[in-house]
């Protein structure tokens, strides 16, 4: 086989430090666009970005050569730098860790819709409840002591 073909879609979830509600509606759209730009500059494709004041969800397509840990490290470092510089919020930071869930092509539309409806979703459910459900849905064992 002379070429490599991959279909790699990920649903990333990560929270602000201590789940502080510091992503403001007034600049959230610009912030999400910036996150998408970081992914694009790293060679990925941002399909959907959403969230609430204390976390983000990203649906992205990555190349076979991407390392998830390195992608998230760059994404979090660059985006927190943007908040410091552009928004003047020096105390902004991301919580350590993240969730990374694989998504099949047949699930893309549902995950995209889920991400786009985050504001409505969080009128009924906290981020902590949502994150636990995602971990359980994907069969990921976790220790509650290390989630937050």
pLDDT for res 88: 96
Burial of 76 (0-12, 13-18, 19+ CB in 10 A): buried
pLDDT for res 33: 98
pLDDT at 2 over 80: no
pLDDT one-digit tens code per residue, 84-130: 999 999 999 999 999 999 999 999 999 999 999 998 989 999 999 99
pLDDT one-digit tens code per residue, 22-38: 999 999 999 999 999 99
Task: Give the least confident one: 41-45, 70-74, 118-122.
Answer: 118-122
* Domains, the chain, ordered by start: 8-146 (3.30.70.1290)
């Amino acid at each position: 086989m002379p070429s490599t073909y991959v279909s790699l879609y990920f649903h990333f979830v990560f929270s602000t430090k201590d789940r502080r509600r510091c992503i403001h509606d007034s600049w959230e759209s610009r912030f999400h666009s910036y996150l998408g730009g970081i992914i694009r500059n790293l060679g990925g494709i941002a399909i959907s970005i959403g969230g609430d004041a204390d976390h983000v969800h990203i649906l992205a397509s990555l190349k076979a050569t991407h390392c998830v840990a390195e992608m998230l490290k760059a994404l979090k470092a660059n985006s927190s730098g943007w908040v410091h510089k552009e928004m003047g919020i020096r105390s902004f930071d991301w919580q350590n860790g993240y969730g990374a869930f694989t998504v099949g092509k047949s699930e893309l539309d549902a995950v995209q819709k889920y991400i786009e409806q985050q504001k409505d979703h969080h009128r009924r459910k906290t981020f902590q409840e949502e994150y636990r459900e995602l971990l359980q849905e994907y069969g990921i064992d976790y220790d509650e002591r290390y989630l937050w």
